[in-house]
Chains A and B, each alone.
Chain A
Amino acid sequence: AQRVTQPEKLLSVFKGAPVELKCNYSYSGSPELFWYVQYSRQRLQLLLRHISRESIKGFTADLNKGETSFHLKKPFAQEEDSAMYYCALSPNNAGNMLTFGGGTRLMVKP
């Protein structure tokens, strides 16, 4: 069975500082990895997925199969980045069935 681990429940940084939200996974096959974000009082929404290899709102994430990690990074955090971030995994060809990590709350202080 697959598992997603986000070791930090809370990450607090100052505006303009770099931020890295950690995500590790365990899965025997080749999964698809995602980062979802939930802003205050809003629904969960997709931030980025590893197959797209794109930067969204300044965030990037690289899939490291050797370390089974998919850390989310942004060089300069903004206050509007404050939110809950969830890393998620979908087994290949599983119709997008998602297993979520525990989530990390990012607080960007002014």
Chain B
Amino acid sequence: GAVVSQHPSRVICKSGTSVKIECRSLDFQATTMFWYRQFPKQSLMLMATSNEGSKATYEQGVEKDKFLINHASLTLSTLTVTSAHPEDSSFYICSARDPGKNEQFFGPGTRLTVL
């Protein structure tokens, strides 16, 4: 099946710094990628929809200036958590839509810990 990678898998940073997470579709072109957030023992919450070549669409309650999304190519979307604070600590998961299969494929996730 299609493969989606995320980098890094785990990151620890100090409060106030910015962290970039990459999401790549390895064997298909994804015009649409999605970013989710998952708190411990909770479900995935959609943060934003990332469309190649255009601005991301953010879900209600998600600060677009804090969670910057860039989808510059058909195989790469990045999520930058700006001025991170401890409450931003979470598991961030991306997915990429394979239009040929009309299906979303998920990355392995990135665990962010802000000290």
Contacts and interface: CB of A to CB of B under 8 A. Distances in A.
Contact of B103 (A43, A96, A100): A96
Given A102-B42, A102-B43, A95 B108 contact: no
B97 A96 contact: yes
B97 A43 contact: no
Secondary structure of the B contact surface, majority rule:
strand
Given A43-B109, A95-B49, A100 B104 contact: no
Contacts of B107: 43
Interface string A82-100: 0000100000000111111
A97 B34 contact: yes
Interface residues of B, number: 19
Band of interface residues on A: 10 to 19
B54 interface: no
A46 B106 CA distance: 9
B115 interface: no
Contacts, number: 42
A96 B33 CA distance: 10
Contacts of A46: 103-104
Interface in B79-110: 93, 95, 97, 102-104, 106-109
B68 interface: no
A43 B9 CA distance: 12
Interface in B22-54: 32, 34, 42-46, 49
A95 B43 contact: no
B43 A100 contact: yes
A45 interface: yes
Given A43-B106, A43-B107, A98 B93 contact: no
Interface of A: 43-46, 86, 95-103
12 contacts: A43-B107, A43-B109, A46-B103, A46-B104, A86-B43, A95-B97, A96-B103, A97-B34, A98-B44, A98-B104, A100-B44, A102-B43
| 4 nearest A-B residue pairs (beta carbon) | A44-B106, A43-B108, A100-B43, A102-B43
